Amino acid sequence: MIKTAQDMKSYKKQLKEALADKFLRSALDNFNTAYRENRPIVYEGVDFEGLKNEIAAGKDAALPHLIEMFEEFKAKAEAVGAKVHTAKDAREANQIIAAIAKDNRVKKIIKAKSMTAEETFLNDHLEKEGFTVTETDLGEWIIQLRGEGPSHMVMPAIHLSRYQVGDLFAEVTREKQESENIDKLVKVARKQLRPAYLEADMGISGANFAIAESGALGLVTNEGNMRLVTTFPKVHVALVGYDKLIPDLKSMFRILKVLPRNATGQAITSYVTWIKGAVECASSPGSRKEMHIVFLDNGRLALAKDPVFSESLRCIRCGACANVCPIYSKVGGHKYGHVYIGAIGLILTLFYHGRENGRAIVRNCINCQACKEVCPVDIDLPHLIKKTHGVILHQEGKKPVKNFLLSTVMKNRKLFHFILRKAYLAQKPLAGKEPMIRHLPHFFGKEHRFRSVPVISKIPFRDQWQQIRPQVVEPKYNIALFVGCAIDFIYPEQARALLKLLKGRGVQVEFPMDQSCCGLPLLAAAEEETAKDVALQNLRAMHAGSYDYILTLCASCGSHLKHNYLKMFKSDPDAPENLKQFTDKIIDFSSFMANVLNISAKEFKAAPQKVAYHSPCHLCRGLQVTEEPRRLIEIAGYEYVPSKDEDVCCGFGGSYSVDFPEISSEILKKKLDNVQDSDARLLVTDCPGCVIQLRGGMDKRETKIQVRHIAEVIAEALK
């Protein structure tokens, strides 16, 4: 049975157990890396971005016509002997299917893999009604025998080792199994399940596509069991979500170019099958299959009309959003979804399985954007996860104290900054003369001790500004610096490094004093209203019209200002007029130095130091800047040494690392291990948030690897 945590306390307990599962950890970590490494090979010669946009547009165009497409499908399918049913929810779907079974005097049922049947807990229902149900997909069979739910949408038993499977098969066959040999284990399933196909009276499948123009179902599979399930028994029932309706074959072919690639790294699966109507079937009294298709609503039709969440119905269940998720790879699918797993599971659970099951898991997203990047139907998953969190908070009507405080403080910049200044005084005794707090007070709990914590700066950048403000006559560029809280109050030296680098280049920098926090932490806490409030303050403060660029040294601020500001005000009639002008001018440090100022190697002394690079999520995926920082490192005379998984999250995610320190520290550990393996002496990145995490973690290790913001190391290399 699926036991999804319904509160944070039990969720934390479950997470701890998952983190202690050694097999799970190494299997999923390896999978995460292998999947990402294999992707470019799988997509060679295929225009992923182009297809993605076409598919998303196609799905969006079709969604408002679900009912029309359904009617068309129904007419075509019924004309050739299929019976089409509709179910408003899971219970009704299960009842319809049980009734079909009874009408046809069915005893034994075999099933092919169907996430939709998992969604309705169909097996439980049918078994309660007295039917014998046998799953035939290898992974599904394994988890059925174990009484578990799937831990991945494509590979349901990915959480198990061959030895666990071998032991299980030994029990089933009462014969010892050579667990080492996976081929032999697979053959056990082949042999054991063969008789089941011949004995069953009813086969149940899902479908990947319901093609409106022809009334045919499209199914994409590998093992061959679905073909047997739909051939031998006299009855075939296909359980299909309304979201599987597509207008035509062309749409299916388009999706077929990405679905297998994304799901299993194949150009196409072993089998793609189109079933239309009641085909020949010798075991059926009329020699024609009893063919039933049950369309499941369960919230889909309402979702299709939702201006924000309809996007989630584009999902084709490829599973990739879990494959690349750093958190999924740490805790596994049983702790990262309810029935639907991975990023999309954090969203759909609320709609299909209720907020009780969604409320804890929805908080476990670090907003690294990895899922969004690989999603073949262009769902903005991290964004919808936050929106889902917001809906749950709203529905529950009681906000966590943290949200209340955060919201109150952040609305008022002066109060916020006052508190930060006070924090300096409170922290001072903890740090002593050290630049970091190495021993947190005990009330923090030991799970927070995986990193040292930076000290709030004595004089924030904003208080230094009057003294250091450069004066440029006849400037080539006028830029405004958006400094962000971390640099303003913790690392002012990073902004000073920028000023040093800009000297003599004709760049007039201004620091608009009324700028506040970018607002990302508010969005992360699902406080969108206050996030918008803060955004308006910044829009007013920054006077975008007066500058050529608004430069930021913080990748997270940068991508939030550039993309989320637009998103937050998307359908807001009161959206500020200069919004687009503002977002267009946002630029990150590396792009400004490398592309706008075109700084050249001549200005730098050779600093033959080996430098590893951490690519911040919000730079490489958020702002899509990947090449510039690496180029900059080399221009400045350093030797850039690539390390593994450079573009994988560092585990910071702002308050994420405080809310989920156990996971944050595991993600960080892998990151730092990879850097240490690269024999670099210096680790460079372009986000002060990442610096907090990486430097704090490195400080706890016995290594000499320094962690710096890219602006600092580039400035230091100047002749």
Partner 1 sequence: MKNPDLIQQMRERAEAVQAIVSIIGTMKDACQYAVAITKKQGGRTVVAAGLKTKEQDYLKNECESSGLRLLEFPLRPHANEIHTSLTIVDGGVAETGTLVLDSTSEDVRIATMLAETHVAVLPALKIKPDTTALENELNAVLKADVPSYTAFITGASRTADIERVLAIGVHGPQELHILIMEENKA
- Residues forming contacts to ligand SF4 in the complex (CB under 6 A) are 315-321, 324-325, 327, 342-344, 365-371, 374-377, 379, 381-382
From edge to edge, which strands make up the β-sheet containing 216-221? 216-221, 209-211, 245-246
CB of 376 to partner 1, least distance (A): 17
Measured CA angle at 187 (ends 186, 192), to 5 deg: 105
Q: What does 687 interact with, of ligand SF4, partner 1, none (CB < 5 to 8 A by kind)?
A: none
Position of tokens 């959206």?
Answer: 575
d(CA 69, CA 255): 18
How far apart are CB 248 and partner 1 at their closest, in Å? 8
Q: Which of 640, 636, 634, 645 is nearest to 668 (CA)?
A: 645
Minimum distance, C-beta of residue 39 to ligand SF4, in the bound complex (Å): 12
Residue 264 or 626 having the CB closest to partner 1 = 264
What is the token pair recorded at 209? 């596509």
CB nearer to partner 1: give 211 or 687. 211
Q: Are 94 and 122 in contact (CB under 8 A)?
A: yes
Cβ at position 252, least distance to partner 1 in Å: 9
- Pick the closer one to partner 1 by CB: 279 or 541: 279
> Could you say which of ligand SF4, partner 1, none residue 48 binds, taking C-beta under 5 to 8 angstroms by partner kind?
none
Closest approach of partner 1 to the CB of residue 467, in Å: 59
Query: Which one, of 75, 89, 312, 314, lies nearest residue 211 by Cα?
Result: 75
Q: Which is nearer to partner 1, 228 or 487 (CB)?
A: 228
Name the site residues for partner 1 (rule: CB under 8 A): 27, 31, 79-81, 136-139, 142, 155-158, 160-162, 165, 182-183, 185-187, 189-190, 193-194, 198, 211, 213-214, 216, 222-225, 227-228, 230-232, 248-250, 253, 256, 264, 266-283, 288-289
Which amino acid appears at position 670 of this protein? K
User: What minimum distance in Å lies between the beta carbon of 230 and partner 1?
Assistant: 8
Tokens of 186: 């697979």
Asked if 420 and 485 count as a contact pair (C-beta separation under 8 A), the reply is yes
282 binds, among ligand SF4, partner 1, none (CB under 5 to 8 A by kind): partner 1
Considering the complex, state which of residue 182 and residue 606 has its C-beta at the smaller distance from partner 1. Answer: 182
Closer residue to ligand SF4 in complex, CB, 94/367: 367
652 interface partner picked from partner 1, ligand SF4, none, CB below 5 to 8 A per type = none
| Residue placing its CB nearer to ligand SF4 in the complex, 208 or 367 | 367
Distance in angstroms (rounded) separating the CA atoms of residues 354 and 299: 11
Strands 132-135, 549-552: pairing is unpaired
- Distance from C-alpha of 233 to C-alpha of 192, rounded to nearest angstrom: 17
Looking only at Cα atoms, what is the longest distance across the chain? 93
d(CA 140, CA 157): 7
d(CA 555, CA 625): 10
Binding partner at 333 among partner 1, ligand SF4, none, C-beta below 5 to 8 Å by kind: none
| Residue 711 contact, options partner 1, ligand SF4, none, Cβ 5-8 Å cut-off depending on partner type | none
Binding at 702: pick from partner 1, ligand SF4, none (beta carbon under 5-8 Å per type): none
Nearer to partner 1, 264 or 427 (CB): 264
Residue 485 binds which entry of ligand SF4, partner 1, none, with Cβ cut-offs from 5 to 8 Å by kind?
A: none
Can you state the angle between helices 381-396 and 528-542, rounded to 10 degrees?
120
Cα angle 76, 219, 53; round to 5: 90
Tell me whether residue 260 or residue 454 sits nearer to ligand SF4 (CB atom).
260
Angle of helix 461-468 relative to helix 492-502, nearest 10 degrees, comes to 30
- Residue 140 CB, nearest approach to partner 1 (Å): 8
Residue 538 interaction partner, one of ligand SF4, partner 1, none, beta carbon < 5-8 Å per kind:
none
Cα separation values, 13 from 331, 342, 504, 604, 667, Å: 12, 19, 56, 52, 18
Neighbour-count burial of 17, counting CB atoms closer than 10 A to its CB (0-12 exposed, 13-18 middle, 19+ buried): exposed
- Provide the minimum distance between the beta carbon of 648 and partner 1 in the complex, in angstroms, as a whole number: 19
Beta bridge partners of 639: 610
Could you count the other beta carbons within 10 Å of the beta carbon of residue 700? Answer: 16
Query: Backbone phi, then psi, for 610, in 5-degree steps?
Result: -85, 125
Spatial neighbors of 353 by CB under 8 A, at least 6 apart, are 4, 119, 338, 339
382 binds, among ligand SF4, partner 1, none (CB under 5 to 8 A by kind): ligand SF4
Please, which residue, 377 or 593, has the CB nearer to ligand SF4? Answer: 377
Q: For ligand SF4, which is the closer residue by CB, 77 or 117?
A: 117
> Encoding tokens for residue 460?
């924030």
| Closest to ligand SF4 by CB, 117 or 237 | 117
CB of 75 to partner 1, least distance (A): 11
Report the nearest approach of partner 1 to the CB of residue 180 (Å).
11
Neighbours of 271 (CB within 10 A): 14
Q: Shortest distance, CB of residue 514 to ligand SF4, whole angstroms?
A: 31
Closest separation in Å from C-beta 239 to partner 1: 19
Pick what 369 binds: partner 1, ligand SF4, none; C-beta below 5 to 8 Å, kind-dependent. ligand SF4
Contact 551, 625 (CB under 8 A): no
Which of partner 1, ligand SF4, none does residue 559 bind (CB under 5 to 8 Å by kind)?
Answer: none
